[in-house]
Structure 1
Amino acid sequence: MKSRENIADILCIGCQKGSTSWLHSVLNCHPSTYAFPDSEPVTSTDKEAHYWDWNAQRGADWYRQLLTPQDPAQLSMDFTPEYACLTEAQIDDCKALNPGAKVFYILRDPLARAVSALRMHMLWHLGKDHSEPLKLGPQFEAFAQEARLEEHGDYLRNVTAWRARYPDLILLNYEDFHTDRAASIGAVFAQLGLDADEMDAPQRQLFNGLMTGRVWVSEKFEIDRAVLMFLQGLTWQYRQAAEDALGMRFTEGDRMLGR
């Protein structure tokens, strides 16, 4: 059981609402990757093992058993966006269990990501038929706290903590999945040593379908302008830090603000 170098060969640590589900599904089309069995509610589908935030008490042997494929040549995957916010001690533990893992972090415009996260929590609590716009007030404050907007939006802190343990952390821009999807996925395949020609006909058909669509589109609940401007003020510092220190460029939030 312990002969594999890593429990998870491919880790995607977020960002939350950054198309991690879509990327996981794309990679899962390839015969050289492995998605663990759906074990809800212990895990989230076959994508998010939630080891460090939900299941650490189950121990490393549980995590290893969950992720180990029958074919030892396959690359096991754990795409859990909450990992972005792990403490330094937790990332140290991750490094001990996955010393050679390829770690990906998808960054999305912080304002757009925050809005999408709030809409996700609105769906969970209010249902898809909710029609009233989200306004500033106790309900907004509760959703914002539950969504951990600042922790998930503080990309520079998260990147710095993870790069201290994984210097080769790979940053992806969410917007590239929409503007140059083929090139983005081609680069990810190259970084993982995956050859697209190894997919059989059914896998290729599924792959081609994913390359022209999305896994899940958020409900477009209306957000009051005052909420949007509050979120702009909350997330502006994180956008500036990501653009200045990480060389990222975001445009999605500007479009939301009508700029």
Structure 2
Amino acid sequence: MKGPDFLGIGAQKSGTTWIYENLSLHPKVSFPAGKEVHFWDAGRDRGVDWWMDQFGPRQPGIRKGEITPAYSFIATDVIRELHGLCPDLRLFYVLRNPVERAWSAARMAVLRAEMTLEEASEQWFLDHFRSAGSRRRGAYAEAIGRWRSAFPAEQLLIVFFDDLRERPREFLSRLCDHIGVDGRAYDATSDEALQRAVFRGPEAPLPPRLRRDLINLYRAPVEELGHVLGVDLSHWLAEPVT
């Protein structure tokens, strides 16, 4: 049987490249087509046989997959089609404070627009935050609802970017357990290596006015996510102490 064993579905700017780089070092994990295939969000005209062929036949003891953050917001009918092909797929979704995620993505977008952070106006950032593309990438509860409507909840691992950043070894071990490989493969990897940032964008503090706008924008989605997961996420909406 062909096809992947696992998929990472997001979120953008939430450590997925770090996950890819570290999982790629595991002797029992393979990314035959690279990190992001972008079939289910942008390449379905190639046909599902093309996508399944990217991973080749499944191999005992080896876990093959891809990590495409744009998969988090694909439509429910597309997710159901995917479930029909790979009903036992292991999924993971990394959630980052949407305020910080949006700011990180906006800074990266500035570079892609061939500007410097100083050249981008406050209004440019506000427009980017409020764009449909940025907002749907932070609509975590909606994404979880769509994926859980097709896949059993136990197949979708929800993890947090804060845990990746603060406890990378524990984070990686939990991820390995979920996709079905032994996390002890990283026992010889130094803490320094695991804490090394990957694909970090330009650093800059989030201006207070922009932070307030983002907090207001994501207040309802964060409260909804907390209800869905049964966790207190109020710290995501807190103003920094000055």
TM over 0.5: yes
Give the aligned partner of residue 41 of structure 2.
53
The amino acid of 2:167's aligned partner reads D
Does the C-alpha gap of structure 1 residues 241 and 210 become closer, same or farther in structure 2, counting only changes over 3 Å?
farther
Query: What is the deviation of 1:248?
Result: 4.0
Task: Mark the CA change 1:249 to 1:115 in structure 2 (over 3 Å): closer, same or farther.
Answer: farther
2:14 matches 1:18: yes
Q: Secondary structure at the match of 1:218?
A: coil
Structure 1 unmatched ranges of 5 or more: 38-45
The answer on whether the counterparts of 1:111 and 1:232 sit within 8 Å (CA) in structure 2 is yes
| Residue pairs, 1:104-119, within 5 angstroms | 104-119=92-107
Structure 2 portions without partners, runs of 5+:
none
**What is the CA–CA distance in structure 2 between the aligned matches of 1:217 and 1:8, rounded to whole Å?**
28
Q: TM-score, normalised by structure 2?
A: 0.87
**Paired AA for residue 237 in structure 1:** A
Contact 2:4–2:64, Cα closer than 8 Å, also in 1 = yes
Structure 2 matches for 1:58-137, cutoff 5 A?
58-68=46-56, 73-127=61-115, 130-132=116-118, 134-137=120-123
Cα distance in 2 for partners of 1:15, 1:236 equals 18
Between the aligned partners of 1:50 and 1:27, the Cα distance in structure 2 is: 19
Pairing of 1:1-259 with structure 2 (within 5 A): 3-4=1-2, 7-37=3-33, 46-68=34-56, 73-127=61-115, 130-132=116-118, 134-137=120-123, 139-140=124-125, 143-144=128-129, 148-167=133-152, 168=154, 169-197=156-184, 210-221=193-204, 223-250=206-233, 251=235, 254=238, 257-258=240-241
What is the letter of the counterpart of residue 241 of structure 1?
Answer: E
Tell me the TM-score normalised to structure 1 length: 0.81
Q: C-alpha root-mean-square deviation of aligned residues, in Å?
A: 2.6
Is the contact made by 1:49 and 1:78 (CA closer than 8 Å) also made in structure 2?
yes
Q: Secondary structure at the match of 2:54?
A: helix
Structure 2 residue matching 1:126: 3-state secondary structure = coil
Alignment check: 8 A CA contact 1:8 1:75 kept: yes
Moved more, 24-33 or 146-155: 146-155
* Identity of matched residues, %: 24
C-alpha deviation, 1:72, in angstroms: 5.9
Question: 1:131, 1:111 → 2: CA distance?
Answer: 18
Matched length: 239
